[in-house]
Structure 1
Amino acid sequence: MTAREIDIHTLPSMLTALRLPSFHKLWAEIATRADTEGWPAARFLAVLAEYELAERDMRRIRRHLNEAQLPVGKTLATFDFKALPTLPRARVEALAAGDWLDGGGNLIAIGNSGTGKTHVLCAIGHALVEAGHRVFYTRTSDLVQRLQAARRDLVLEAALAKLDKFDLIILDDITYAHKDQAETGVLFELIARRYEYRSIAIAANQPFSGWDQIFPDKAMTVAAIDRLVHHATILEMNAESFRQRAAATNRMALAEPAATTNNDNQNEGET
């Protein structure tokens, strides 16, 4: 085929067939610039390829963020590290790089309620998605219910296999999943399946000594903790609750106008 046999007017449809939307959108503009500046053909193609790859990365990140179901707004940029000086930003940023995912390492954040455990884990998860990893966030009780339903319908293996595609599963509020509310043996099956294979991040508001309320028996509790901590980074996050601190700040802010009004009224009475 010679250049004279190629119909340039068919280029948009060919690019659509090749699934190159950025090529399709930008080729005419880039071609005009290339002609004006005298680019060689290789540079013209390289520029278009860079745009196409960058756009694919953006689409992939958007798609994976959507499937991750991470809470909105919980990123490293929005976390108040000054309020939790025992958790250095550098340490969290190192975790966000994701090296610990190799070999199925785990991450466990333990601390009292309202200290930012969920925020930190989700911020790390968000960074990992942007770095190319696949992440899934869920409340532990919700996942237990889903896996219980899968077991009842005899499709538990398929449900667990579907979760294998995620490099990291973030289990929030694990100590709210009580063995008297649901049979949490399925949770142990998930932990055992991912051991040294895929990673789990856990937010817990109770130390390991309080986890006996989660699993059906003590032996399973010990076995679950043993698997989780074997290759784990543990973040101790006991501090004053962010929510309580925010509530106290709001009360002070509301009290100040009232005090100012009372002072003004008193001054008017004295005049």
Structure 2
Amino acid sequence: MNPMPELIPMLKQLRLSGILDSLEARNRQAIEEKLAYTDFLAMLVQDEVARRSQRKFAMRVRRANFRNHKTLEEFDFSFNPNINRALIMDLATCRFLEEGANLLVVGPCGTGKSHIAQAIGHCAVRMGYDVLFTTQTKMLGQLHAARATNAYERRLNALAKVDLLIIDDFGLKPLRTPQDEDIHDLIGERYERRSTIITSNLDLNEWGDAFPNKLLGSATIDRIRHGAYSLLLDGKSFRAARPLPKYPKNEVAENVKKGKN
């Protein structure tokens, strides 16, 4: 007697329909290996747990809104050998999230700030944390739009509660009022409760220059830097321009002449 017609609706009712994906294969394996009923059941349950974990992981990655797929496995530490690899690998354990500490990643353009920030975010996602990657400009734009529709508090609370918030390109554009107040309120809500990664091209002692209200900026930066880990990047840019092809002088002149014609 085939139990499948009765089994399928019951599994769906129990929200275990994913078991159907591996049921047939596991049933053949159990027959071939003469497994006990409990071993057969254990395999089905393990498959279901793995499926749900993968589904949750994929959902967290989508919610994180990473700019692109950047991991530590893909990062070329040999390109700039002075990068503090030991600190980065320690941060990848995500212990700083348990501390509620921030991470400040500072350095010139193209030295890998966004890559490292997103890679650590990926590590956090793998460990079950909720992560959100955004830029200063995008985040403040969303808060501004939310204020216009009376949804500011809801949006601020959502940003405040995410386990790990990554703000890329802080200070790339000077803040205006009330943007400086929005940053201050957000940092205040997350202070010593949730971890924030902030990347910036500005030196840490220049961050205050991004705020039009210096007193507000000083209070905000004081909270950001308190107990924070600092990762200073320096060296060559990963985005260095490729060298132009070299042509013989007469060929260059010919190409210029053709371009004019």
Q: How does 1:98-247 map to 2 (within 5 A)?
A: 98-180=94-176, 183-244=179-240, 247=241
Q: Which residue of 2 aligns with 1:251?
A: 243
Partner of 1:55: 51
Report the Cα offset of residue 181 of structure 1. 7.8
Partner of 1:40: 36
Looking at secondary structure, tell me which structure has more helix per residue.
1
Matches of 1:73 and 1:223 in 2, distance apart? 35
Aligned-residue offset at 1:182: 6.1
CA deviations over 1:55-113 (Å, ceiling 9, x no partner): 11111111111111112132112211112222243322221111100132100001111
TM-score normalised by structure 2 residue count: 0.88
Cα distance in 2, alignment partners of residues 37 and 209 from structure 1? 67
Number of the residue aligned with 1:10: 6
Tell me the amino acid that sits aligned with residue 26 of structure 2: I
The letter for the 1-side match of 2:41 is L
Q: Which amino acid aligns with 2:193?
A: Y
What residue number does 1:265 align with?
none
Are the counterparts in 2 of residues 144 and 182 from structure 1 also a CA contact under 8 Å?
no
- Matched-pair identity in %: 33
Contact conserved, 1:121 with 1:170, CA < 8 A, in 2? yes
Aligned-partner Cα distance in 1 for 2:168–2:47: 38
For 2:45 and 2:114, the matched residues in 1 are separated by: 39
- The corresponding residue for 1:268 is none
Q: Deviations over 1:126-169 (max 9, x none)?
A: 12111211110001111011112223433322112222442111
8 Å CA contact retained: 1:168, 1:198: yes
Moved over 4 A (4+): none
8 Å contact kept, 1:144–1:184: no
The alignment's TM-score, normalised by the length of structure 1, stands at 0.85
Distance 2:78 2:177 in 1: 38
Alpha-carbon separation, structure 1, partners of 2:177 and 2:81: 37
**CA 212–129 in structure 1, closer or farther in 2 if over 3 Å, else same:** same
Q: CA deviation at 1:51?
A: 0.9
- The answer as to whether partners of 2:160 and 2:186 remain within 8 angstroms in 1 is no
Report the residue type matching 1:166 in the other structure: V
Unaligned 5+ segments in structure 2 are 252-261
1:148–1:184 CA distance, 2 compared to 1 (3 A)? farther
Question: Residue 251 of structure 1 aligns to a residue in which SS?
Answer: coil
Shift in alpha-carbon separation, 1:173–1:182, aligned structure 2, 3 A: farther
Residue 14 of structure 1: SS of its match in structure 2? helix
Contact preservation (8 Å) 1:112, 1:237: yes
CA distance in 2 between counterparts of 1:153 and 1:165 reads 21
Aligned residue pair count: 250
Q: For 1:160, give the aligned amino acid.
A: L
Deviates more, 1:133-142 or 1:33-42: 33-42
What is the match of residue 27 of structure 1? Answer: 23
